[in-house]
Each structure stands twice: as structure tokens, then as C-alpha cells.
Amino acid sequence: MDGEPFWLQSPLAPCERTLYRLMGVDPAEQMNWKRHLACVLAFSGISLAALVALLMTQHILPLNPQNVSGASWHLALNTAISFVTNTNWQSYAGENAMSYLSQMAGLAVQNFVSAAAGIAVLFALIRGLRPSGGASPGNLGNFWADATRAVLYMPGNRSPLTAM
């Protein structure tokens, strides 16, 4: 997570750099706890609002062959909070209440990015707790870089030879 090279980094490094450019992020920038917290809350808030909007408007969006109606505001909010916080509690019956687009672009994406946000927070905590020579309160890493690396590299962070 600190940018050390490993086997999967070479093929995915261009994708990582492109994502940083699109987000306007300098992955080498270090954040203090206030900035890190603000980024986590902003990311989670935007994710929550986007997912609620997607669920409530799924009836007018594509990939809805069953003509599933839009979720009520309380079901959409409950589901969005659940997936953004990575608890994934569901009070609906899968394909009967959610369109394919809602499941793919909303819920499945949140399974990855909400976990990545949690992993980024964990690494900030670890950096903050390191003994001398580690991170200072103003050097907890970069939330955006950690979340991006968690999505891109965590599933494959071991060499195929050492995974056996």
C-alpha cells in the first residue's frame, strides 16, 4: 500500500496513473487526520447520494427488462447506507426489487469501493500507530491512493507461486 513494487503493479500501473489523473490526485501527497477524514466522508457521502438516486430512478434507466419500479425513498436509503457501510443488509428480494443496472453499477460496485474505503482507513490507522520512524499525525498516507490500490491490487497482491 505504500507503493513498493510487486508483480501485479507493472501491468496495472498505467490504469492506476490514469485514475489519479482523472481524479486530480497526487498519490505522493500525505494527509493529516482531518484531511483523511474529510476525504472518507466526502467519498462515502457522494457514494450514498449516487446510490440512492440510482435505486429511486431505476424504473427509467436502462437494463431493466423486468420493468422493476423505482425503490421507495426509505428502501433506497436503507439499502444505500447498508452497501456504503459495507454491511450489505438487504430488505428486498434481489431481482424482484432491483434492476440489473442497480445491481451491477450500484450494489456490486459498492461491494468493492466500500471495502476499499475501509482498507484505506485501516492503513491510515496502522501508519498512525507505527513506532518511531513511522507516520506522524500529518503523514497518514493518501486516502485516494490507498482506496485505488485496494481496488486494483489487493485481490492479487501475492505472487501466483506463493499463493500455492
pLDDT value at residue 55: 97
pLDDT value at residue 130: 79
Alpha-carbon distance of 81 to 53, in angstroms, equals 12
Which among 116, 101, 110 has a CA at the least distance from the CA of 80?
110
Alpha-carbon distance of 116 to 81, in angstroms, equals 16
% of the chain beyond a pLDDT of 70: 88
Q: Number of folded domains in the chain?
A: 1
Judge whether residue 114 has pLDDT over 70.
Answer: yes
Confidence class for position 92, pLDDT limits 50, 70, 90: confident
Which residue did the predictor score with more confidence, 61 or 138?
Answer: 61
Q: Is residue 129 part of a domain?
A: yes
Contact 142, 29 (CB under 8 A): yes
Which residue did the predictor score with more confidence, 95 or 59?
Answer: 59
Contacts of 164 (CB under 8 A, 6+ apart): none
pLDDT digits (tens, 9 = 90+) for 20-59: 999 999 999 999 999 999 999 999 999 999 999 999 999 9
Alpha helices in 8-161 (DSSP H): 9-23, 33-56, 73-84, 94-97, 100-101, 109-129, 143-153
pLDDT value at residue 161: 40
Q: Is residue 2 part of a domain?
A: no
pLDDT digits (tens, 9 = 90+) for 61-82: 999 999 999 999 999 999 999 9
DSSP states along 129-142? H--TTS--TT----
Which range marks the domain in which residue 51 is found?
A: 32-156
Judge whether residue 159 has pLDDT over 60.
Answer: no
Q: Is residue 137 part of a domain?
A: yes
Alpha-carbon distance of 40 to 109, in angstroms, equals 17
Q: Is residue 12 part of a domain?
A: no
Average pLDDT (159-164) is 42
**Half-sphere exposure for 29 (CA within 13 Å, toward CB):** 12
Judge whether residue 164 has pLDDT over 90.
Answer: no
Which residue did the predictor score with more confidence, 133 or 164?
Answer: 133
Average pLDDT, rounded, for the chain = 88
Which residue did the predictor score with more confidence, 108 or 160?
Answer: 108
Provide Rg for the chain, Cα atoms.
18
Q: Is residue 27 part of a domain?
A: no
Cell digits for 80?
A: 444505500
